[in-house]
């Protein structure tokens, strides 16, 4: 029984490891808790995915969906990215077929690291069921369940997560007593979440002065030129192509003093090697599990206001819920704003009142909602 190292009162309900010798696909699915609904969480594809990482992410989804008060449970999936050349569609559809029996009753897929709208279309094509994944292309429609007309996807490329991060940042700055207009912001990670967070924050007057992608960091003292940066985003070029900034080493990103730091990249990006050099007043966790809880607690004790990941970056899963219900993008953005603003205000206000760090407050709210659902289900 020593293999059951993740087991506690919440779950996980299923840990599924799949392998297809024909395609070489190796994948992991963790369905953590379905008391509030089917497990919802994205599929990431990386060369070093582990069972522990997938479990931690699945548990985060349990709390994220509960805190957003949407009828989903928590789950996550990971596919080991093969070395060398490989056919991504073949691997994705092999994984979809391997876990098909669990979808969508127990698990609903979505985009994550190295997967997006295209991969979600491949996934539902392989399962043959529109509702087995969200984040599908907007122009990928099908008649479903005998209803008249067509339903379309709401891809994460619409920027729902980055939009939610920007709204959470605005609320956190207001509660902190900081004017978001002119606030100096650093964003680590410039994929889907980071790019949209940059665009929405810039639109409300924040000054993004520091950006980083996998190749390094760029500092722009007076903020970035939006036209040049949009061209880089459009052409999918690395940030090093930005001509008007100062190129920094990746490790020097964390040393630059800013008002607001937004980690929007990979798991545990804030760690023992850089936690002591961070000079931000507010941290908004746009990426999933950007640091371990003891480090988060340490930074919180130093006076940094931290909005946890499952509060700040819930825009993506709220968007997934909107797509699942058949809502249009306009209604989706309205729901994302309402839920993210409400959750951020509630968590930070209670944190300030009680003296507990925001994660503890948010976790207590989410746990009670999941516990109530478990009681109702008879667990």
Question: 241 and 92 share a domain?
Answer: no
Give domain status of residue 336, yes or no: no
DSSP 9: S
Contact status, residue 89 vs residue 82, Cβ threshold 8 Å: no
Give domain status of residue 65, yes or no: yes
Q: Which residues of the chain have pLDDT under 50?
A: 1, 143-149
- CATH number of the domain where residue 207 is located: 3.40.50.720
Domain boundary among 156, 174, 203: 156
Question: 150 and 89 share a domain?
Answer: yes
Classify residue 262 by burial, with Cβ atoms within 10 Å: 0-12, 13-18, 19+.
Answer: buried
CA distances (Å), origin 358, targets 6, 72, 102, 260, 300: 24, 22, 34, 16, 9
Give domain status of residue 377, yes or no: no
Question: 204 and 352 share a domain?
Answer: yes
User: So what's the pLDDT on residue 138?
Assistant: 84
User: So what's the pLDDT on residue 143?
Assistant: 45
Question: 129 and 166 share a domain?
Answer: no
- CATH number of the domain where residue 106 is located: 3.40.50.10860
Question: 172 and 105 share a domain?
Answer: no
User: So what's the pLDDT on residue 2?
Assistant: 53
Question: 69 and 214 share a domain?
Answer: no
Contact status, residue 31 vs residue 10, Cβ threshold 8 Å: no
Question: 106 and 121 share a domain?
Answer: yes
Question: 258 and 129 share a domain?
Answer: no
Give domain status of residue 374, yes or no: no
User: So what's the pLDDT on residue 150?
Assistant: 53
Q: What's the whole-model pTM score?
A: 0.87
Give domain status of residue 329, yes or no: no
Contact status, residue 109 vs residue 117, Cβ threshold 8 Å: no
* Per-residue tokens: 337: 């704003």
What pLDDT digit, counting tens, does each position of 227-263 carry? Answer: 999 899 889 899 999 988 999 999 999 999 999 999 9
User: So what's the pLDDT on residue 144?
Assistant: 43
User: So what's the pLDDT on residue 319?
Assistant: 92
As a whole number of angstroms, the distance between CA 206 and CA 178 comes to 11
* Per-residue tokens: 88: 């991504």
Give domain status of residue 259, yes or no: yes
Listing DSSP states for 279-323 in one string gives: --SEEE--SSS-S-HHHHHHHHHTT-EEE-HHHHTTHHHHHHHHH
Give domain status of residue 24, yes or no: yes
Contact status, residue 218 vs residue 197, Cβ threshold 8 Å: no
User: So what's the pLDDT on residue 147?
Assistant: 47
User: So what's the pLDDT on residue 140?
Assistant: 79
The residues assigned a catalytic role are: 76
Domain boundary among 123, 156, 189: 156
Domain with 146 in it: 14-156
As a whole number of angstroms, the distance between CA 211 and CA 209 comes to 7
Question: 170 and 144 share a domain?
Answer: no
Question: 33 and 173 share a domain?
Answer: no
**CA dihedral for 63, 323, 122, 315, sign (positive or negative):** negative
DSSP 82: P
Question: 309 and 216 share a domain?
Answer: yes
Give domain status of residue 337, yes or no: no
* Per-residue tokens: 194: 């980071």
Domain boundary among 139, 156, 173: 156
Question: 142 and 169 share a domain?
Answer: no
Split into its structural domains, the chain has a count of 2
């Amino acid at each position: 029984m020593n293999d059951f190292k993740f087991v506690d009162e919440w779950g996980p309900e299923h840990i599924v490891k799949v392998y297809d010798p024909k395609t070489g696909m190796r994948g992991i699915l963790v369905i953590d808790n379905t008391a509030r609904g089917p497990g919802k969480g994205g599929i990431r594809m990386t060369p070093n995915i582990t069972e522990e990482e997938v479990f931690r992410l699945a548990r985060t989804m349990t709390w994220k969906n509960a805190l957003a008060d949407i009828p989903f449970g928590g789950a996550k999936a990971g596919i080991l990215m093969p070395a060398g050349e490989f056919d991504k569609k073949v691997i994705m559809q092999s994984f979809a077929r391997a876990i098909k029996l669990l979808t969508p009753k127990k698990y609903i897929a979505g985009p994550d690291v190295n997967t997006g709208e295209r991969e979600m279309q491949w996934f539902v094509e392989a399962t043959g069921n529109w509702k087995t994944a969200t984040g599908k292309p907007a122009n990928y429609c099908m008649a479903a369940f005998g209803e008249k007309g067509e339903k379309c996807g709401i891809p994460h490329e619409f920027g729902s997560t980055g939009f939610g991060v920007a709204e959470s940042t605005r609320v956190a700055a207001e509660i902190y007593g900081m004017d978001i207009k002119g606030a100096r912001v650093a964003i680590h990670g410039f994929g889907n979440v980071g790019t949209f967070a940059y665009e929405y924050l810039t639109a409300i007057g924040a000054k993004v002065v520091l950006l980083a992608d996998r190749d390094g960091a760029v500092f722009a003292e007076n903020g970035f030129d939006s036209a040049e940066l949009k061209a880089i985003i459009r052409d999918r070029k690395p940030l090093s192509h930005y001509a008007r900034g100062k190129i920094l080493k990746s490790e020097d990103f964390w040393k630059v003093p800013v008002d607001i730091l937004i980690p929007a990249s990979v798991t545990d990006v804030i760690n023992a090697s850089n936690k002591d050099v961070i000079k931000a007043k507010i941290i908004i966790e746009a990426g999933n599990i950007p640091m371990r809880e003891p480090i988060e607690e340490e930074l919180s004790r130093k006076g940094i206001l931290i909005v946890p990941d499952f509060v700040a970056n819930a825009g993506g899963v709220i968007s997934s819920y909107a797509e699942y219900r058949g809502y249009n993008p306009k209604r989706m953005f309205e729901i994302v704003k309402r839920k993210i603003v409400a959750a951020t205000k509630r968590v930070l206000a209670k944190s300030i009142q009680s003296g507990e760090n925001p994660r503890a407050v948010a976790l207590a709210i989410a746990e009670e909602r999941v516990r109530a659902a478990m009681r109702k289900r008879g667990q």
